[in-house]
Amino acid sequence: MSLSCRYAAQCCARQLRATASTSASVRAVSAPALQRIARRHNSTEAAAVSPKISGIVDQISQLTLLETADLVASLKSRLNIPDLPVGGFAAGPAAAAPAAAAAEEVDEAPVVAEKSLFTLKLTAFDPAAKPKVIKEIKALLGLSLVDSKKFVESAPKVMKESVPKEDAEKIVATMKELGATVVLE
């Protein structure tokens, strides 16, 4: 038992002994003691609640389950509260153990899987073809002309991520024709 629990148990035992020693334990309890006990049991009612808060609580308690779900969703969006998985932060370490076991299985039997999604990286370009490369980057990425120019001038830089193989090969071929070097990663 912790110290506070032990202390509470001793106090209760002492109080029981004191009330049992009196001849009429129930009748002998004074009025102030009864008021203290009543206050202790009604401690939630003893706290002063503003009328505004009590009105909100009354309105929420009258909502149906679907209305309550809508209320929660709208409060989360208004207050920018992210959705947490069930279990909150405690689920993180527990989920890591199966992932580690799965990683060990992959290491034991390496299977050569063909990559399906690629990252495209602009590494270099021909200075003479710079305007054409800027226009193509503008069309591919949907950037403004100024942003496209800054993007091309800051090469090497990642153009796109998670691009399917066929689309990636088309983009690489197009950029190579224009005079730019794009690498698949």
How far CA 73 is from CA of 62, 78, 85, 172, 184, in Å, comes to: 18, 9, 15, 44, 41
pLDDT digits (tens, 9 = 90+) for 101-133: 444 544 454 555 677 788 889 998 888 989 999
* Res 83: pLDDT: 73
84: left (phi over 0), alpha (psi -120 to 50) or beta: beta
| C-alpha–C-alpha distance, residues 2 and 30, integer Å | 32
**Nearby residues of 69 by Cβ (< 8 Å), 6 or more positions away:** none
| C-alpha–C-alpha distance, residues 182 and 159, integer Å | 9
Residues of the chain with pLDDT under 70: 1-6, 11-12, 16, 18-47, 84-113
Task: Provide the β-strand partners of residue 184.
Answer: 120
Q: Which CATH architecture has domain 117-184?
A: 2-Layer Sandwich (3.30)
Assign 3-class secondary structure to 97-152: HHHHHHHHHHHHCCCCCCCCEEEEEEEEECHHHHHHHHHHHHHHHCCCHHHHHHHH
Two tokens, residue 153: 């001038």
* Res 155: pLDDT: 81
* Res 25: pLDDT: 46
How far CA 26 is from CA of 67, 96, 134, in Å, comes to: 49, 58, 92
* Res 4: pLDDT: 64
8 Å CB contact between 59 and 71: no
